[in-house]
């Protein structure tokens, strides 16, 4: 998820600069002059002419988008027709659009919504993601601002590496480490038993109330440094002259963070916020599945694990697709709301 | 030049891709064999192509069958095993009722009942045993899979309680026996008669003392089991509160489907387990370890008591005599109860034939031989020539198992040499054609003497029922959810630091009321139809 955010952010930056380019072009146009020197009066569609001319001159740059575009087409848009299976009695090997396709209408959705645990799966997903967002979103910003205001570059670099190193631990290893520390017979429980008090230790992995904190804090421990990189990049672009000027005005270090740094990265923050809200209901099932035990099922069973176990493992492909589709629809709605709100409030949006 | 480089790169990539496609999916078509059968098999099991019994069957039927293999992990990760190219059948297919129905409906697996003319043995089985015929039928009335039938009368009772006799003797020697528990050394033999409270007091002593003289004085496990496992689970403990408990918490009592979780006795059992847990008599491991970990930990004899199928797999050879069989624990009124499990001796989907098979009747005539007693026995235990049975039959004309496998344990030998799968070994076969393994016989005797007499009155396993398609859908939707909910409630209640509250249990029941009622009704309807078709089982 974080990686895709990073990609998105770079994409945003490039679109921004493209926007700037356009602005320049428009400015030229407004002044009535033409950079290429050709008289625009001869052509009937000066805008088109210019576009074609522009394309001829700089069109090769588009080649750089090509891999990304192909990737998105093949792996994101291509498989989308599979959504149709949400309305079918489907099993692998069936034709998705053929004479033998068994259409069942909204049956799969009925099965999904009438699941006695539907409410709790939905709530679990929402709570896990929203808490994850509340803790996980501001943390990298704070870290980036603090790192940025360290004066000695060596310490800054060192800390930065220290912070983002855990990002490279694989999920399986991470959960393995957590079990060694917090699991039954783990470090923490051994201590608890040795120091007396409890007979069986805390057994955090079996406690439903401990699942969310464990999940969220381990996730953030792993990723806060990595997510901060984007903000650090944005902060690197802040004009030193602004800081100089603030210093001259007698602004403290703390004051400068609020009045110079923060406003500078605000557009990045807003953009990333819109993106994370759009991903709010999808926290990924892998880590949840790894952390699931018979004891914590009450809070650890979320929509995506349901799709995995019921849909894929038990072979109810149609219901699984329906559940996934439902999740995606919620995400899209959230994305639209977030985008609309930020457009109104901060005058900034994705489209 | 640029173009040339790009063309070169493209050519190389294409070639690589082409090579990948060719090699990646290679090995599909069984080169020139009449039939290719995919079997689900672990690496440690011998190649079926080398097993004498399959060679013999092929020779007798004149069919040329080639076996290919998937490990169970490979197989379960394949979302569409029926779509694998170049195979004619899947052995150990293990499809659920719903999956059999789905594949059958699409004609991707063969309706076997249409080929009974080339299957004399199977045809006779279906005529002789209406219960098996009913069990195999899919909602549309067709039979889509070959069964596995192994009637030794063992699976209904997957738990036996064993107690560490050595440790109890030590308590007696040290005059450290709990107050009010009067057990003499002479009483410490198989079939120990003891109440739940006495048992608890003894376990408490196991917990408080360093029983195995080890340096670490906390490594003894007073009572071990594997929660929610098919064998050696906590069901018998809960049953001792007066319930027909099993892993699904669902039993047939006097023709009525009942859920044990609804009974307040069940809640009392959970409450007591919570107490045992917080006193350290049951360890957390019981709820989060798998079967293999349980077995590995038990080898050096650190279990004070445990529930399992048999003691030999749990404890290493030199410590086996330390453990004795305990009868089901007595409750306060001196009564004993055991709940029958729902593990059945007739299993569906041991083998399916694919719709793409060219000569269905031919392949089925080959599989039909599997049901003959001598072949069934060898498929289930290993070939005669491999040493699974003595080369000569006994005076009654029965196959006699060979118990001497040198350094190898009987379990390991069988794991390596037996194919399992499609067999027909009924009670009758074990009386007339095949002598039962000695360890199975031993277990049967223990059960007959110490366990079966205490079966909850009127309780029996739910037989293989014949559901309609909509019933199958209801079951698939509600059963998994209910199972998860009960399991999560149980685990939380037992390992909680505080005593489980009755209101929490009532809340759990009312939250799952809908599922319980739906499943109960579905099962009951199907059972009533079953009784109407074939009459009562016993």
Per the prediction, chain A carries an average pLDDT of 84
Contact B485 A117 (CB under 8 A): yes
| Separation CA A41–CA A52 (nearest Å) | 16
Say yes or no: A179 contacts chain B, CB-CB below 8 A: no
What is the model's pLDDT at position A246? 92
| Separation CA A53–CA B405 (nearest Å) | 86
Q: Contact, B184 vs B474, CB < 8 A?
A: no
pTM of the model: 0.82
What is the model's pLDDT at position B2? 55
Say yes or no: A39 contacts chain B, CB-CB below 8 A: no
Interval A224-245: pLDDT, tens? 999 999 999 999 989 989 999 9
Q: Which of A92, A184, A310 sits opposite B288 (nearest CB)?
A: A184
Q: Where are the alpha helices (DSSP H) in B163-315?
A: 165-173, 196-208, 235-239, 264-278, 285-288, 291-298
Q: Contact, B393 vs B399, CB < 8 A?
A: yes
Say yes or no: A222 contacts chain B, CB-CB below 8 A: no
Say yes or no: B537 contacts chain A, CB-CB below 8 A: no
Contact A198 B98 (CB under 8 A): no
Return all residues near B412 (Cβ < 8 A) that are at least 6 apart.
B405
What is the model's pLDDT at position A35? 47
3-state secondary structure at position B45: coil
What is the model's pLDDT at position B300? 85
Return all residues near B48 (Cβ < 8 A) that are at least 6 apart.
B39, B41, B54, B67, B69, B419
Nearest residue in A to B282, CA atom: A200
Q: Which of A92, A185, A317 sits opposite B83 (nearest CB)?
A: A92
CA distances from B105 to B78, B110, B477 (A): 20, 10, 20
Q: Contact, B338 vs B237, CB < 8 A?
A: no
| Separation CA B138–CA A133 (nearest Å) | 48
Contact B514 A206 (CB under 8 A): no
Q: Which residues pair with B119 in a beta bridge?
A: none
CB < 8 Å to A294, chain B = 227-228, 287-288, 487-488, 491
| Separation CA B193–CA B327 (nearest Å) | 6
| Separation CA B412–CA B230 (nearest Å) | 20
Contact B478 A316 (CB under 8 A): no
Residue that the structure tokens 């445990």 belong to: B306
pLDDT in tens, chain B (538 residues): 455 555 555 555 554 554 444 443 434 444 579 999 999 999 999 999 999 999 999 999 999 999 999 999 999 888 889 999 999 999 999 999 999 999 999 999 999 999 999 999 999 999 999 989 988 999 999 999 999 999 998 999 999 999 999 999 999 999 999 998 989 999 999 999 999 999 999 999 999 888 877 766 677 899 999 999 999 999 999 999 999 999 999 999 999 999 999 999 999 999 999 999 999 999 888 888 888 899 999 988 889 999 999 998 899 888 889 999 999 999 989 999 999 999 999 999 999 999 999 999 999 999 999 999 999 999 999 999 999 999 999 999 999 999 888 888 888 899 999 999 999 999 999 999 999 998 899 999 999 999 999 999 999 999 999 899 999 989 988 998 899 999 999 999 998 888 999 999 999 999 999 999 999 999 999 999 999 987 754 4
Q: Which of B278, B287, B492 sits opposite A199 (nearest CB)?
A: B278
Contact B497 A117 (CB under 8 A): no
What is the model's pLDDT at position B247? 94
Q: Which of A111, A295, A315 sits opposite B287 (nearest CB)?
A: A295
Q: Which of B99, B106, B495 sits opposite A206 (nearest CB)?
A: B495
Q: Which of A184, A205, A295 sits opposite B488 (nearest CB)?
A: A295
ipTM given for this complex: 0.78
Say yes or no: B509 contacts chain A, CB-CB below 8 A: no
CB < 8 Å to A200, chain B = 277-278, 280, 283-284, 495
What is the model's pLDDT at position A284? 79
Q: How far is CA B206 from the centre of its chain?
A: 31
Identify the residue among B6, B218, B492 best suited for mutation to test binding to A, counting A beta carbons within 10 A and taking the highest: B492
Read off the tokens for B115: 């080929």
> Which residues in chain A come in under a pLDDT of 50?
1-41
What is the model's pLDDT at position A98? 84
């Amino acid at each position: 998820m974080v990686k895709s955010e990073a990609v998105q952010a770079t994409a945003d930056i490039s679109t921004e600069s493209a926007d700037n380019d356009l602005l320049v072009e428009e400015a030229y146009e407004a002044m009535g002059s033409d950079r290429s020197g050709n008289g625009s009066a001869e052509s009937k569609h000066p805008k088109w002419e210019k576009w074609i001319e522009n394309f001829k001159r700089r069109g090769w740059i588009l080649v750089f988008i090509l891999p990304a575009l192909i990737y998105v087409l093949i792996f994101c848009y291509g498989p989308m027709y599979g959504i149709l299976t949400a309305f079918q009695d489907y099993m692998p090997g069936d034709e998705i659009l053929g004479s033998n396709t068994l259409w069942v209408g909204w049956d799969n959705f009925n099965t999904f919504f009438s699941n006695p645990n539907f409410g709790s799966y939905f709530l679990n997903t929402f709570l896990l993601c929203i808490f994850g967002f509340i803790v996980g979103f501001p943390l990298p910003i704070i870290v980036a601002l603090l790192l940025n205001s360290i004066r000695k570059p060596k310490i800054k670099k060192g800390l930065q590496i220290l912070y983002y190193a855990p990002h490279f631990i694989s999920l399986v290893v991470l959960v393995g480490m957590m079990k060694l520390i917090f699991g039954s017979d783990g470090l923490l429980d051994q201590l608890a038993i040795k120091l007396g008090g409890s007979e069986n230790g805390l057994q955090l992995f079996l406690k439903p109330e401990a699942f969310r904190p464990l999940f969220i804090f381990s996730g953030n421990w792993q990723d806060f440094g990595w997510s901060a990189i984007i903000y650090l990049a944005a902060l690197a672009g802040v004009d030193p002259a602004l800081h100089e000027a603030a210093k001259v005005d007698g602004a403290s270090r703390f004051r400068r963070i609020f009045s110079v740094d923060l406003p500078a990265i605000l557009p990045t923050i807003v953009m990333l916020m819109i993106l994370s809200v759009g991903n709010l209901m999808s926290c990924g099932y892998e880590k949840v599945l790894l952390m699931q035990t018979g004891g914590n099922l009450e809070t650890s069973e979320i929509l995506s694990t349901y799709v995995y176990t019921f849909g894929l493992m038990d072979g109810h492909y149609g219901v699984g697709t329906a559940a996934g589709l439902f999740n995606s629809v919620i995400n899209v709605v959230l994305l639209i709301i977030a985008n609309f709100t930020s457009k109104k409030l901060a005058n900034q949006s994705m489209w | 030049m640029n173009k040339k480089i790009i063309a070169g790169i493209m050519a190389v990539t294409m070639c690589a891709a082409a090579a990948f496609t060719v090699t990646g999916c290679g090995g599909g078509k069984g080169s020139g064999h009449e039939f290719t059968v995919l079997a689900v098999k672990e690496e440690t099991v011998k190649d079926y192509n080398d097993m004498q019994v399959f060679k013999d069957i092929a020779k007798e039927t004149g069919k040329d069958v080639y076996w290919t293999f998937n490990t169970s992990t490979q197989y379960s990760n394949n979302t569409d095993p029926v779509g694998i190219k170049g195979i004619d059948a899947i052995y150990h297919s293990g499809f659920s009722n719903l999956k059999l129905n789905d594949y059958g409906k699409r004609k991707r697996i063969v309706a076997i009942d249409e080929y009974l003319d080339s299957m004399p043995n199977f045809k006779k089985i279906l005529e002789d045993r209406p219960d098996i015929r009913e069990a195999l039928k899919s909602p549309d009335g067709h039979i889509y899979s070959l069964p596995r039938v192994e009637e030794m009368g063992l699976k209904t009772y997957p738990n036996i309680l064993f107690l560490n006799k050595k440790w109890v003797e030590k308590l007696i020697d040290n005059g450290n026996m709990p107050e009010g528990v009067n057990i003499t050394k002479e009483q410490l033999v198989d079939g120990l008669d003891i109440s739940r409270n006495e048992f608890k007091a003894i376990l408490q002593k196991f917990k408080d003392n360093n029983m195995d003289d080890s340096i670490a004085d906390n490594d003894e496990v007073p009572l071990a089991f594997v929660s929610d496992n098919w064998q050696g689970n906590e069901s018998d403990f809960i049953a001792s509160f007066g319930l027909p408990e099993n892993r699904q918490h669902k039993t047939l009592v006097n023709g009525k489907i009942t859920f044990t979780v609804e009974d307040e006795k069940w809640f009392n059992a959970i409450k007591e387990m919570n107490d045992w847990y917080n006193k350290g008599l049951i360890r957390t491991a019981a709820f989060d370890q798998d079967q293999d970990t349980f077995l590995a930990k038990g080898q050096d004899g650190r279990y004070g008591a445990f529930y399992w199928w048999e003691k030999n797999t749990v404890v290493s050879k030199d410590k086996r005599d330390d453990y004795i069989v305990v009868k089901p624990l007595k409750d306060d009124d001196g009564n004993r109860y055991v709940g029958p499990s729902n593990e059945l001796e007739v299993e569906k989907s041991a083998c399916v034939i694919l719709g793409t098979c060219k000569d269905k009747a031919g392949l089925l005539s080959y599989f039909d031989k599997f049901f003959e007693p001598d072949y069934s026995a060898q498929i289930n235990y290993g070939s005669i020539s491999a040493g699974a049975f003595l080369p000569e039959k006994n005076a009654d004309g029965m196959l006699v198992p060979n118990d001497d496998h040198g350094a190898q344990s009987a379990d390991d030998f069988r794991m390596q040499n037996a194919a399992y799968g499609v067999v027909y070994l009924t009670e009758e076969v074990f009386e007339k054609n095949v002598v039962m393994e000695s360890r199975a016989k031993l277990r049967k005797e223990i059960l007959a003497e110490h366990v079966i007499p205490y079966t909850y009155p009127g309780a029996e396993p739910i037989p293989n029922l014949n559901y309609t398609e909509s019933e199958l859908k209801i079951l698939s939707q509600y059963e998994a959810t209910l199972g998860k909910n009960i399991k999560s409630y149980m685990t939380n209640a037992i390992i909680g630091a505080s005593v489980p509250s009755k209101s929490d249990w009532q809340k759990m029941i009312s939250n799952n009321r809908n599922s319980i009622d739906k499943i109960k009704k579905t099962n009951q309807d199907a059972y009533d139809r079953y009784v109407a078709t074939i009459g009562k089982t016993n």
